Structure 1
Amino acid sequence: MTDADTNVPSDLKTPTDLKSNETKSVAEALNSVLADSYALYFKTKNFHWHVSGPHFRDYHLMFDDQASQILATTDAIAERVRKAGNTTLRSIGDISRHQTLSDNDASFVSADDMLAELRQDNLTLVEGLRAVKEAATAAGDNATEGIVDDWTDEAEERAWFLFEASRKG
């Protein structure tokens, strides 16, 4: 049996004072960010494993640090969805249905292209986080509204580091 307003199985319905129709839009935005976070995590790890060239050590370590930071946010994102009375992603297939970032399956990617692609993906993630903030504000979801600022700052910092690492000179 599910709640007709949110399609949340009644066994998973978390008590909240937030209105279910408003939290549904927050959950949708958070689940999109969660899917993009997993896609970005895996792409960052892929580039960490396959980077080559004169800045190998620096990029290898930076990509690993960034991947760890991205992965660390995934549990908090999913738990925000649940705390607001909704359900979150369940599988790799579910991630692929919700993600907006493109995968990179190329057999070789230059270090410069890795930096540019990850920078753009982090900026795209920032756009998704801003959409979460707007939805949370509209829903009166102060907790999500507050925590998303930290995630936005982290993604902006990653984009900045990737930008600076790509500069020549």
Structure 2
Amino acid sequence: MADKTAALQTPTDLNRNDTKSVADALNSALADCFALYLKTKNFHWHVSGPHFRDYHLLMDDQATQIYGVTDAIAERVRKTGNVTLRSIGDISRHQTLTDNDADYVAPGDMLSELRDDNLKLVESFRVVKEAAEAAGDNATSGIVDEWTDQAEERAWFLFEASRKG
């Protein structure tokens, strides 16, 4: 029986071994994006208090942006001739961010946790950048800069929103 995954090997001029390390880094970042998306939506659904409207809208905007990056990451994995995540279980096996299943999280704690998770996502994107540059994968190296900037901006907004003053 022939290897059916061979049908998924997109043509590329990049070295297969090198792109595997890029794909692994991308899949880890993708899992973290999905985990962060769901956590952001969870907090969006469950935030309460005097800043409800501001936090509710901020988290919804951020969740939309995070979700928007997921397709670009997965498609980048496929463009390098590799396979990407397939299920919630696959996400959980690859994610480095921790879930939050608490019944109640104070709004300030939500903002802090999301800020820290976005900064961890920046670290994941830096791993992607390093792997891409080592593989000579200019496209991934270039596109990950935008994802990094977006995550840094989300962290900044969460920081500013959480300041007392």
> TM-score scaled to structure 1, two decimals?
0.96
> TM-score scaled to structure 2, two decimals?
0.98
- Where does residue 53 of structure 2 map in the other structure? 57
Shift in Å, 1:117: 0.2
Answering whether residue 124 of structure 2 is matched by residue 128 of structure 1, we say: yes
Answering whether residue 12 of structure 2 is matched by residue 12 of structure 1, we say: no
- Where does residue 32 of structure 2 map in the other structure? 36
Q: Hey, what's the Cα distance between the residues in 1 that align with 2:33 and 2:137?
A: 21
Q: Could you tell me which of 105, 108, 124 is aligned with 1:109? A: 105
Structure 1 runs (4+) deviating above 4 angstroms are none
Q: Could you tell me which of 62, 71, 74 is aligned with 1:78? A: 74
Shift in Å, 1:146: 0.3
Q: Hey, what's the Cα distance between the residues in 2 that align with 1:65 and 1:20?
A: 37
Equivalent pairs counted in the alignment come to 164
Q: Hey, what's the Cα distance between the residues in 1 that align with 2:9 and 2:37?
A: 29
Answering whether residue 149 of structure 2 is matched by residue 158 of structure 1, we say: no
Q: Could you tell me which of 14, 21, 25 is aligned with 1:25? A: 21
Measured against aligned partners, the alpha-carbon deviations of 1:25-49 in whole angstroms (never above 9, x if no partner) come to: 0000000000000000000000000
Q: Hey, what's the Cα distance between the residues in 2 that align with 1:105 and 1:77?
A: 26
Q: Hey, what's the Cα distance between the residues in 2 that align with 1:32 and 1:10?
A: 22
Q: Could you tell me which of 109, 124, 147 is aligned with 2:143? A: 147
Shift in Å, 1:9: 1.1
Q: Gaps spanning 5+ residues in structure 1: where? A: 3-7
SS at match of 2:104: coil
Letter in 2 for 1:51: V
Identity %, equivalent residues: 76
